[in-house]
Structure 1
Amino acid sequence: MSIRHFRTLLAIRDHGSFSAAGEAVLITHAAVSQQIKALESHWNVVLFDRRPRSPQLTPLGRAFADRAETIVRAYDNMLVEISDEAGFAGEIGLGAVPTTLTGLVPLAVSHLKRKHDKLHVVIQPGLSTALLQQIDRRQIDAAVITRPASLPRGFTFHEIATEPLELLAPPQTETDDPMFLLRHYPFIRFDRNAIVGQMVETWLQAQKIAVQESMELEDLEAISSMVMANLGVSIVPQRCVSNMNPLPVKHITLGVNAPSRQLGLAWRSDSGKSKVIKAVHQTFCDAVADGRFSVTI
């Protein structure tokens, strides 16, 4: 019997099935079943009602899972609570939306590594919704995301920066009127699977602008390159940290009613790495204060 068995039980409770729990804790469905049977045998209890197609926790099983969660959290936090440096010599899994990968993230992580050289940072790119799911399944510890309309229960979100949306236009355009450009130039759309893409679509509809859509991309560097090649205009977040050697495209404000995205760090409130994650958040805020990623960092 080990803490691993309790983690598997909690994964079933949180994800709703043995199969989903296996994916979350990276073991097979058969291994999940074996671990639950071992728990039931060891404690001489019935944790699941197996009559439904998908086994359901019994009332005793739910109470048992609640107590198991307390034990797992205490185990995860044990070293952190007695040592100021605990966690800074291990690994942290950090998700990041693609728009932050060429400016904010490299600058912040370089600062973080200077302060905590034994901390191993693993970066996982992804869209905000997918990254939140990975945090929930404990596949990563935290993520830099665009704040959604509502956060999942049990999550903490600390703001890093507010980025207004702006229009990118080719340098050879003769006007800086965003409404004219949006109506008369091909439109390079930000991926609608991303929260930013949905914000763009909502704003366009509110302004009653029918764009001439030419392509849909999620990578800010790719979008900038397409605009530079005079293939259209696009609406994207204004970077809170400039990357090295930016393309000389036009950056045009959308006006006083321009939407903004709130960029921040999200993590599970019960994470055993909260102290490290809060230090990561502060490092990201420091990077925003610097404002530019360059070779002189």
Structure 2
Amino acid sequence: MSIRMLRTLIAIDDHKTFSAAADAVFVTHAAVSQQMRALEENWGVQIFDRTRRTPELTPVGRALVARAREVVRGYDQILPSVTGETGVSGEVALGALPTTLTTLVPQVISLLMARHPDVHVHLNPGLTTAMISQLERGALDVALITRPETLPPDLEFLEIAEEPVQLLASLETQSDDPLELLSSHSFIRFNRDAVVGHMIETWLQKKGIRVNETMELDSLEAISSMVHANLGVAMAPRRCVRVRNPLALKRLSLGTDAPVRRLGLAHRRDNPRSRILSELHNLCLRVIESASAVNAGPDRTTPE
């Protein structure tokens, strides 16, 4: 048995097939099969159920994956725990919300790589719930997420911004009353699988507002385009870093009790990469501070 075999076993659990795991650990499909056969022979247990078209982990196999994650995590921490991190380098698996991929994330990664050329970022877009699961099992080092109501105790959250939810409406709409617009126009819903989508639904129910839902999207660019075409109104967070040349829309406050998205970086408490995590956090704050300075001034009819 070797650490390399354990990493392959974990990759199979993460990517669900031998072929995808082979790509993830940069070996051939045949090599993955050979490594897993060797593990089964060394341990004398059946790790995979091969009666299915795609081999699946047995209950014993799933238990071994959980322990393998602990062993690999401990192995990766040996040197940093003895010598401490002396620089920011190496590969970083970064998860990020789709709503940040055209604004905050590109600027942060650009600054990170300019300041630390030895850093290699592997970007993995996803929704908060899925990324939390990936953080817990070690598939991600750090993730830019919306803070949920409950955060697993083994994760730490570094807040970077608060983004109040607002109403988006076409300039062609006659009213500037958000409650009237919600009740009289079609509603373009933010994906309810996202934490902020759930926050919006909870707010609507609390207010007793019944909407005429016509579509459900998870891209702010797509939502803005639909609203701009006067296909309905929407509720979405006001991003801390705005897009360039945003569409002209009404951006209306929902009041003091509007939902607020808390955006931040989440990581495992036992993550040994404290220097790079701190650097990412500082760069996020720096980008947001710069964006706030640029956006300071009179309010405009834009959604971002």
Instruction: Quote the Cα distance in structure 2 between the aligned partners of 1:145 and 1:231.
Output: 29
**Is residue 164–residue 260 contact of structure 2 (8 Å, CA) maintained in 1?**
yes
Instruction: Quote the Cα distance in structure 2 between the aligned partners of 1:154 and 1:33.
Output: 33
**Is residue 240–residue 288 contact of structure 1 (8 Å, CA) maintained in 2?**
yes
**Is residue 242–residue 293 contact of structure 1 (8 Å, CA) maintained in 2?**
no
Alignment match, 2:135: 135
- Out of 111-120 and 200-209, give the one that drifted further: 111-120
Q: Cα distance, 1:252 vs. partner?
A: 0.5
Alignment match, 1:279: 279
Instruction: Quote the Cα distance in structure 1 between the aligned partners of 2:280 and 2:206.
Output: 37
Picking from 28, 32, 39, the partner of 1:35 is 39
Instruction: Give the TM-score normalised by structure 1.
Output: 0.79
Count of aligned pairs between the two proteins: 272
Instruction: Quote the Cα distance in structure 1 between the aligned partners of 2:152 and 2:91.
Output: 24
Instruction: Give the TM-score normalised by structure 2.
Output: 0.77
- 1:266-290 Cα distance to aligned partner (Å, 9 max, x none): 1222223332122112211211111
- 1:127-151 Cα distance to aligned partner (Å, 9 max, x none): 1111222223333221111111222
Letter in 2 for 1:125: P
Task: Rate the CA distance shift 1:135–1:33 in 2: closer, same or farther, 3 A.
Answer: farther
Instruction: Quote the Cα distance in structure 2 between the aligned partners of 1:253 and 1:47.
Output: 58
- The answer on 1:263 being equivalent to 2:263 is yes
Alignment match, 2:117: 117
**Is residue 14–residue 139 contact of structure 2 (8 Å, CA) maintained in 1?**
no
Q: Cα distance, 1:106 vs. partner?
A: 1.5
Instruction: Quote the Cα distance in structure 1 between the aligned partners of 2:213 and 2:46.
Output: 54
Gaps of 5+ in 2: 23-31, 48-56, 295-304
SS, match of residue 262 in structure 1? strand
**Is residue 163–residue 261 contact of structure 1 (8 Å, CA) maintained in 2?**
yes
Gaps of 5+ in 1: 13-18
Q: How does 1:216-235 map to 2 (within 5 A)?
A: 216-235=216-235
Instruction: Quote the Cα distance in structure 2 between the aligned partners of 1:203 and 1:183.
Output: 14
Root-mean-square deviation over aligned CA pairs: 3.2
Q: Cα distance, 1:255 vs. partner?
A: 0.3
Q: How does 1:82-231 map to 2 (within 5 A)?
A: 82=83, 84-86=85-87, 88-231=88-231
Alignment match, 1:244: 244
**Is residue 103–residue 293 contact of structure 1 (8 Å, CA) maintained in 2?**
no
Q: Cα distance, 1:21 vs. partner?
A: 6.9
Task: Rate the CA distance shift 1:73–1:54 in 2: closer, same or farther, 3 A.
Answer: closer
Q: Cα distance, 1:165 vs. partner?
A: 0.6
Letter in 2 for 1:265: L
